[in-house]
Amino acid sequence: MKTKILLLMAALLCMTTLRAEKIDRVEPPCWWIGMETDLQLMIHGDRIAGSTVTVDATVKGLSVGKVVATDNPNYLFVEVKVGNRLEPGTYTFNLVTPDGRQFDFDYAFYKRREGSAKRESFGPSDAVYLLMPDRFANGDKHNDTMSETAEKANPKNLGGRHGGDIQGIIDHLDDLVSLGVTTIWPTPLTLDNEKSYSYHGYACADYYRIDPRYGSNELYRYFVERAHDKGLKVIMDMVPNHCGTAHWWMKDLPSATWINYPENLERGGDKLIRTNAAMTTHSDPHAAEVDKESCVKGWFDTTMPDMNLSDPLVRHYLEQMAVWWVEYADLDGLRVDTYPYSDKAGIAAWTKAIRNEYKRLNIVGEVWFGDVASCAYWEGVKQKDGYNSQLPSVMDFPLMFATLSALNDEGTSWEPSMLRIYNSLALDRLYEDPSDILIFIGNHDTARLAHELGGSPAKIKMAYTLLATMRGVPQLYYGDEYGLQSADGTVGHSQERVDMPWGKFTREQIVLRKYVADLFTWRKTSKAVAQGNFIHFRPDAANVYVYFRTVKGECVMTILNGGKKDYVVDWPHFSEITANFAQKGKNVMTGERFRIGDKMVVAPGEAAVLEFK
């Protein structure tokens, strides 16, 4: 009964009532009282440019400000001033066109949740679980195929819709809790209505609507609530850089400057002006303007029109959208796709606007670079050229590349492979706060971890050991805890974004999952890992990497043996750390007790995590 009541209440929330045949859409769908973000309604209707918009003047705390028209007569952007004296409720706005037509629409304003602006977010004490909703779990088979969406379900098509949905995530929340993760990051859940390959969700067709094949806005809101009930946080994946060609406004763009290269709509195919992906041009002091422009304005893909974030109307629309979802669904953070493909000033202003509303909200940007210097440019600190992305966190691709490379070979005696990890972390000085960086060893755009590591359970365990004890915010990718690979062993997005085979795991997969679960469940209890300093020791010819996480009263020592011989812990070598802690310790994974100085052996290709308190 409680579930039904919550869903009914949510269904009534944020429903703009249009009482005019020619007003097609008003966005955002609703708003809240006491927001820092200015409200600007985007109204779409037939020949409404030049209209006057009013609201009952006797209403305290509500008035209409500036009304902006564009070169498209079917749009108006209306500034609405919302004062703190406004009472929650639904209010009627009146629109009168230059030719005398009158239209009314009702718009709802709500009271904010207590403490909404000061909400906490995810951070180093959390472990993030990335999943693809279409492939994770099918909790409601009735929405696999919907009459209103173009692509129909076909589980046999590797690049098609398979049926996973929000209900499936809800059904498996307890599985995620038992895995030891604390935060869920689903890839985009908003409507993607492309005719094919729409399951990934990165070609948005409606920024304010959950894809009906996943569920509804109300169900998404309920999912976040249920996650919170179980101590889990939720991150929303957002894509301000581009929308989809099936977006409702592509048939009638709000303005000529709404998207970059609108001529691409006519070009198509090989004539399409695509991004050159030259993201380094943003920080390159020698970059040609034509290369910069190609990166920022070119389309990411044939079905992904590029949003013009240098246009104030576009940017404010997307700022409101992000704030709306955080407030509506009670979100705990955001992940931003293709961050450096956008206008750099525009995307920084977008991020700053969201952080102005929610000062503690963590926002992590996808900055796909293989080197630390390029990644660090996008972390929110003023760079030498004066740029500040405003991002509190970025994705540590360099560490992922270094880790996979280190685990796949031994290197040489003068340059052991574990040195690649060490050298990547040695550049942490370039980050403002390395503890906030999102670290991972695989995601939805990379090859499966098991594929990268040759299906070796031992190597997978080493990778997860590093992920659980390293500085930063760890992110796991769905199914990698079981060692999932594509059915035929080939790589590529369609091949490796496999369905989670619930109830069909092998004994070996279950054993691997238990290792990961034990590790991350322990991690939640470790103050040293969540808050501690990071000190590492340079790997020598034995190809063993040892590092410590230390905080007052607690220390964690991680040993990764990438060599071919047993490693006997050389306690005196680490005395600058161990001398400050009790002589007794515990092996986290085995429970074995020991004293500093005792003979301890770590076998080749294995890892050990030692805890001192």
Q: Per residue in 129-156, pLDDT tens?
A: 999 999 999 999 999 999 999 999 999 9
365 plus 415 within the same structural domain = yes
Helix%, strand%, coil% for the chain, nearest 5:
30, 25, 45
Q: Compute, in degrees rounded to 10, the torsion defined by CA atoms 155, 441, 171, 214.
A: -50
Give the pLDDT of residue 302. 93
CA distance 211 to 234: 18
* Summary mean pLDDT of the chain: 95
513 plus 542 within the same structural domain = no
Nearest one of 266, 341, 350 to 314, comparing CA atoms: 350
In a domain, 123, yes or no: no
Give the pLDDT of residue 19. 52
Last residue of a domain, one of 464, 489, 524: 524
How far is C-alpha 390 from the geometric centre of its chain's CA atoms?
16
Residue 598 is among the residues annotated as catalytic for this protein: no
92 plus 135 within the same structural domain = no
Last residue of a domain, one of 60, 81, 112: 112
CA distance 227 to 515: 24
In a domain, 214, yes or no: yes
Range of the domain at 457: 128-524
Report the range of poorest mean pLDDT among 31-45, 310-324, 487-501: 487-501
Partners of residue 131 on adjacent β-strands:
186
Nearest one of 397, 377, 372 to 387, comparing CA atoms: 377
Nearest one of 125, 232, 121, 126 to 169, comparing CA atoms: 232
In a domain, 6, yes or no: no
412 plus 297 within the same structural domain = yes
411 plus 542 within the same structural domain = no
Give the pLDDT of residue 6. 42
CA distance 144 to 498: 17
Band (pLDDT 50/70/90 cuts) for residue 20 is very low
Assign residue 548 the CATH number of its domain.
2.60.40.1180
End-to-end CA distance of the chain: 47
401 plus 256 within the same structural domain = yes
Beta carbons within 10 angstroms of residue 291's beta carbon: 14
Which residues does 8 contact at the CB level (< 8 Å), separation at least 6?
none
**Parallel/antiparallel/unpaired status of strands 128-131 and 473-477:** parallel
CA distance 75 to 200: 30
Beta carbons within 10 angstroms of residue 476's beta carbon: 27
φ, ψ for residue 207 (rounded to 5)? -70, -15
Number of structural domains (the chain) is 3
Predicted confidence (pLDDT) at residue 270 exceeds the cutoff of 90? no
CA distance 544 to 135: 37
CA distance 362 to 484: 30
Which of 126, 140, 206, 366 is labelled catalytic?
A: 366
438 plus 505 within the same structural domain = yes
φ, ψ for residue 357 (rounded to 5)? -80, -40
In a domain, 552, yes or no: yes
Assign residue 97 the CATH number of its domain.
2.60.40.10
89 plus 134 within the same structural domain = no
141: DSSP letter: G
447: DSSP letter: -
Which of 194, 337, 357, 428 is labelled catalytic?
A: 337
In a domain, 544, yes or no: yes
**Size of the chain, expressed as the number of residues it contains:** 613
Instruction: Name the residue type at position 533.
Output: N
Last residue of a domain, one of 112, 136, 166: 112
304: DSSP letter: B
CA distance 354 to 35: 11
547 plus 504 within the same structural domain = no
- Half-sphere exposure in the Cβ direction for 107 (13 Å, CA): 30
Assign residue 325 the CATH number of its domain.
3.20.20.80
In a domain, 242, yes or no: yes
Over residues 393-409, mean pLDDT: 97
93 plus 213 within the same structural domain = no
Band (pLDDT 50/70/90 cuts) for residue 268 is confident
Give the pLDDT of residue 1. 41
158 plus 66 within the same structural domain = no
Q: Report which of residues 19 and 391 the model is more confident about.
A: 391
Nearest one of 473, 478, 568 to 516, comparing CA atoms: 478
Band (pLDDT 50/70/90 cuts) for residue 583 is confident
Residue 126 is among the residues annotated as catalytic for this protein: no
In a domain, 163, yes or no: yes
479 plus 582 within the same structural domain = no
Which residues does 178 contact at the CB level (< 8 Å), separation at least 6?
517, 521
Band (pLDDT 50/70/90 cuts) for residue 5 is very low
Predicted confidence (pLDDT) at residue 10 exceeds the cutoff of 50? no
408: DSSP letter: H
Give the pLDDT of residue 420. 98
CA distance 170 to 495: 25
3-state class (DSSP) for residue 41: strand
In a domain, 281, yes or no: yes
Decide if 500 contacts 135 (C-beta within 8 A): yes
In Å, how far are 144, 212, 217, 478, 511 from 141, measured between CA atoms?
A: 5, 12, 18, 21, 30
